[in-house]
Structure 1
Amino acid sequence: MNASQPTNPRRSTWVQGKTTPTTAKLPPALPSDEINALRERVAEQLTRRARASEAAGEPPWTPERRRQEAQSLLAGVLQDEATAAITAGRAPRDPHADRTLTARVLDALFGMGGLQPLLDDPTIENINVNGCDVVHVRYADGRRARVAPVAASDGELVEMVRAVAARAGVEERRFDRGAPQLSVQLPDGSRLFAIMAVTARPSVSIRRHRHPTATLRDLLRLGTIDPGLEAFLTAAVRARRNIVVSGGMAAGKTTVLRALASAIAPSERLVTVEDAIELGLDADPRAHPDVVALQAREANIEGEGQITTADLVRSALRMSADRVIVGEVRGSEVISMCLAMSQGNDGSMATVHASSSAQVFLKLAAYAVQAAERLPLDATGLLVASAVHLVVHLESTPDGRRVVASIREVVGADGAQVISNELFRPGGDKRGRPHVPPSEDLLTALTAAGFDPQWLHSPERWWPR
């Protein structure tokens, strides 16, 4: 592993594939040795103080109390350093430098170190680190920029990821040459993926979730859907239609899935299945008081103990769930998911990577071939057709906004081919508008769930033209 020093912290912005340096100046990097020394000093004092508190019979410290104590200790340390500097005839650090140093040390103790300032920026959507000093971000409005280094060396970057892994998620996750890949959920709900040993330099990718409690009304405000689609999708969820949300990378599938789930009645029992927990439906007990969030587990160092998402979907079928929600289908779990959807768990949902709504069925069939059941293509087509009712597909508009572009209704199967009608088709702006009327069965179910069929005959009430 190369311990590369930060080389070029200059910021640049990419526009339509071109790189244009901006004039924005990045804040000067603080010496990593100084931050680490203060972190270790405060951590040692914090441990002693916490043990003394426990020995005195006081209640265990909450995370907030622990941070407050650390901040108090750090203020004392910095005051001692300022006094020593004045005594020695040196100028102490100015207040701004002290505040910056305090933030960095607290980030190292409780946050994500050099990544924390990026995580604190609500306008940043994705963070990609290709070595400690090659850091790129993507903003919510589509802009891309290269920003300052997040660590002093690649070795420090790896240690930072290990520290995060040690305190994130529901189980310990290794990150070393024997386990060079790591996928965890961060405290703010973001998803971190890190890889080392099989790359020239360690790499970290963080996908932010700017809308952790999204609703369909939120999607309407964001411009992802229009009033007609809000009414249609709300009724589809309440009518217990099985829905697959599709789209490309970073298309907003998880956010839309979370928004669809917001239309589920609080009285229903939900079981979510994910490779790394992202949906966070269990974090909102008012909206979803009865939720079990299941997360896949990797094998241990002896190669044992692995629990796949397919295993978890099968487990969900034994947990009296009203609905099963699979965060992302990308393998053999498709069989278990379809069985869940077609065996009494109506209203279940999932996401899948696909470039169009029509391609979803090909992707599901390809995943089914990988399953241990080895279903023939004809049987796979019948299974998917009996399980999935609607496909909701996302695309990006020319100005970079994510929108619902297409909705397909599954009406049957002809051998291996799934037959569907495109109820909403994207126009030139990629926004989905009514194209083919729903089947009589679907329209009856939607109407019973509160959908006004007049929406389908009033184009002026949909997207602005």
Structure 2
Amino acid sequence: MTGPAGVPPAPARPEAVAPELVARLRSRISGRLAAHTTTASDPPPDALIARFIAEELVAHARDTITDGGVPLTAKAEAALARELQHTFTGLGGLQRWLDDPNVEDVFANGCDNVWIRTTGGVMVRVPPIAASDDELIELVRVAAARSGQEERRFDRGSPSLSLRLSGGHRLFAVMAVSKRPTLAIRRNVLQHVTLDDLVQRGELTPGLRDLIAAMVRARKNLVICGGTGVGKTTLLRAAAGAIGAHERIVTVEDAFEVGLDENTDAHPNTPALQQREPNLEGVGGIDMTTMVKWGLRMRPDRVIVGESRGAEAVPMLLAMSQGNDGSMCTIHASSSKQALSRLAMYVMQAPMQLTFDAANVLIGQAVDFVLHLDVATDGTRVLSSIRQVLETDGTQVTSNEIYRPGPDRRAVPAAPLRADTLDDLTAAGLDLDRLAADRW
């Protein structure tokens, strides 16, 4: 299966490897590793595993011939060796897709109903990633154990798991509440991304790149919104590149994904906070609201909330309006206007039970711009709308859509910016003439 013209091809299907054979040989190798007595002359652990794999493959070929069967081809044997290596040092049948730069999403509806979505938007069904659903559950637990984060459960008592894999990939899995264990992995194709990268990918124009960079330098508070998989976190990460290296940033997320703390050259002073799930007794959990409050006590210049979806909207908006100018967050919304009403809903649902009018006042005082992302008619992720928040009278948040979605959903100029805002942005380096001449 291939995509339309200009779209990267789907990854080539790997040589088929029977999950049952992988499981059987893995069990034999695990037994050898458990029985092995470590000595000073032993090779490194990975090399020892590779040696045992090679020896077991030779033994398997010999047994197959003895039984009158046909041994594996060299290509199939190499694929089997990789699969076995992945079960010990990677994530088993998932690892091949995590390593593939052409894969954007991985979906498993049970061990043998597995799909990938390519960076070109093509959906392809691929071979099983585990020999059984129980083995798939164990694979998810291994991923949690190897994530290097706070231990996260995955069992009937805690049937969902959200975590960040090495490489920045985001995994979410459920069991017990679904007929079969199910997982979705969003690969982080662009970990260290810049606004220039998004221009090259056709997601921004040069003028929009300059406008967003000027907003960040001018310390405007930004809300980045859109549907699932449109690149909200990617744009947030790219926009943060305009923040000076001398500034202290605190990021708060439900599961680590933004990763600004890992780019120590660009953001050397960036602690990253993550909410904590309750323990087996149901205690010890720390929610996003508390994490945002803790982040503010760390005296940041800016706060970045990976995704606002609840009561944490209140301390985040308070931070934006009380001195932490230039803060950012993402939110799910189908338009830039809807993002404001969603924020109001989250504020009103918070324990302090603010009224609708009070929620609008808080939003109007905190948010400067809302950036909405969408998918263009040609399948490209694009910036579709920019809305400037003007003021509020309590009954509503007044705003102007300075860029609106065009016929292909790409942002086109609409209402003008306020004069005082233009002054702020030009002082931050925005070239108004170049912006006026900008085109997709």
User: Deviations 1:330-364 (Å, cap 9, x if unpaired)?
Assistant: 00000010011112111110000000001111000
TM-score (norm. length: structure 1): 0.87
Q: What pairs up with 1:26-425 in 2 under 5 angstroms? A: 26-27=13-14, 29-46=16-33, 51-53=38-40, 65-79=44-58, 81=60, 93-425=72-404
Distance in 2, Cα, partners of 1:94 & 1:128? 29
Distance in 2, Cα, partners of 1:90 & 1:456? 70
CA contact (8 A) 1:137 1:146 kept: yes
CA contact (8 A) 1:276 1:296 kept: yes
How far is the alpha carbon of 1:66 from its aligned partner? 3.7
Distance in 1, Cα, partners of 2:38 & 2:338? 58
Distance in 1, Cα, partners of 2:390 & 2:424? 14
Structure 1 residues 401 and 271 mapped into 2: Cα distance closer, same or farther (>3 Å)? Answer: same
Distance in 1, Cα, partners of 2:206 & 2:326? 22
Q: Identify which range, 116-125 or 327-336, moves more after superposition.
A: 116-125
User: Deviations 1:397-448 (Å, cap 9, x if unpaired)?
Assistant: 1111110011111110021311111111111111112222211221111111
What secondary structure, in the 3-state scheme, does the structure 2 residue paired with 1:358 have?
Answer: helix
Distance in 1, Cα, partners of 2:87 & 2:188? 22
What secondary structure, in the 3-state scheme, does the structure 1 residue paired with 2:225 have?
Answer: strand
User: Deviations 1:273-294 (Å, cap 9, x if unpaired)?
Assistant: 1111111111111111111111
CA contact (8 A) 2:303 2:328 kept: yes
CA contact (8 A) 2:344 2:359 kept: yes
Q: Which runs of 5+ in 2 are unaligned?
A: 5-9
Aligned residue number for residue 8 of structure 1:
none
Distance in 1, Cα, partners of 2:264 & 2:368? 28
Of residues 429, 432, 436 in structure 2, which corresponds to 1:453? Answer: 432
CA contact (8 A) 1:128 1:136 kept: yes
Aligned residue number for residue 6 of structure 1:
none
Q: Structure 2: which amino acid aligns with 1:277?
A: F
Q: Structure 2: which amino acid aligns with 1:73?
A: F
CA contact (8 A) 1:14 1:144 kept: no
Structure 1 residues 395 and 346 mapped into 2: Cα distance closer, same or farther (>3 Å)? Answer: same
CA contact (8 A) 2:15 2:79 kept: no
How far is the alpha carbon of 1:127 from its aligned partner? 1.6
User: Deviations 1:87-106 (Å, cap 9, x if unpaired)?
Assistant: 89976544323211110011
1:462 is aligned to 2:439: yes
Q: Structure 1: which amino acid aligns with 2:352?
A: E
Structure 1 residues 272 and 68 mapped into 2: Cα distance closer, same or farther (>3 Å)? Answer: farther
User: Deviations 1:199-241 (Å, cap 9, x if unpaired)?
Assistant: 1111111112211111100000011100100110111111111
How far is the alpha carbon of 1:39 from its aligned partner? 2.5
- What is the aligned-residue RMSD (CA, Å)? 2.6
Distance in 2, Cα, partners of 1:24 & 1:351? 31
CA contact (8 A) 1:243 1:348 kept: yes
TM-score (norm. length: structure 2): 0.92
How far is the alpha carbon of 1:77 from its aligned partner? 3.7
Distance in 2, Cα, partners of 1:50 & 1:430? 63
Distance in 2, Cα, partners of 1:442 & 1:48? 70
CA contact (8 A) 2:112 2:128 kept: yes
User: Deviations 1:94-138 (Å, cap 9, x if unpaired)?
Assistant: 432321111001111122211222222222212221112212222
CA contact (8 A) 1:165 1:173 kept: yes
Structure 1 residues 311 and 141 mapped into 2: Cα distance closer, same or farther (>3 Å)? Answer: same
CA contact (8 A) 1:169 1:185 kept: no
Structure 1 residues 24 and 326 mapped into 2: Cα distance closer, same or farther (>3 Å)? Answer: closer
Distance in 1, Cα, partners of 2:67 & 2:351? 73
CA contact (8 A) 1:133 1:150 kept: yes
Q: Identify which range, 315-324 or 86-95, moves more after superposition.
A: 86-95
Distance in 2, Cα, partners of 1:273 & 1:49? 44
Distance in 1, Cα, partners of 2:3 & 2:128? 18
CA contact (8 A) 1:326 1:351 kept: yes
Q: Structure 1: which amino acid aligns with 2:19?
A: S
Distance in 1, Cα, partners of 2:184 & 2:178? 14
CA contact (8 A) 1:329 1:351 kept: yes
User: Deviations 1:370-408 (Å, cap 9, x if unpaired)?
Assistant: 111111111111111111111110011111111001111
Structure 1 residues 90 and 132 mapped into 2: Cα distance closer, same or farther (>3 Å)? Answer: closer
Structure 1 residues 67 and 24 mapped into 2: Cα distance closer, same or farther (>3 Å)? Answer: closer
Distance in 1, Cα, partners of 2:314 & 2:37? 50
Q: Structure 2: which amino acid aligns with 1:186?
A: L
Q: Which runs of 5+ in 1 are unaligned?
A: 1-11, 16-22
What secondary structure, in the 3-state scheme, does the structure 1 residue paired with 2:271 have?
Answer: strand
1:430 is aligned to 2:409: yes
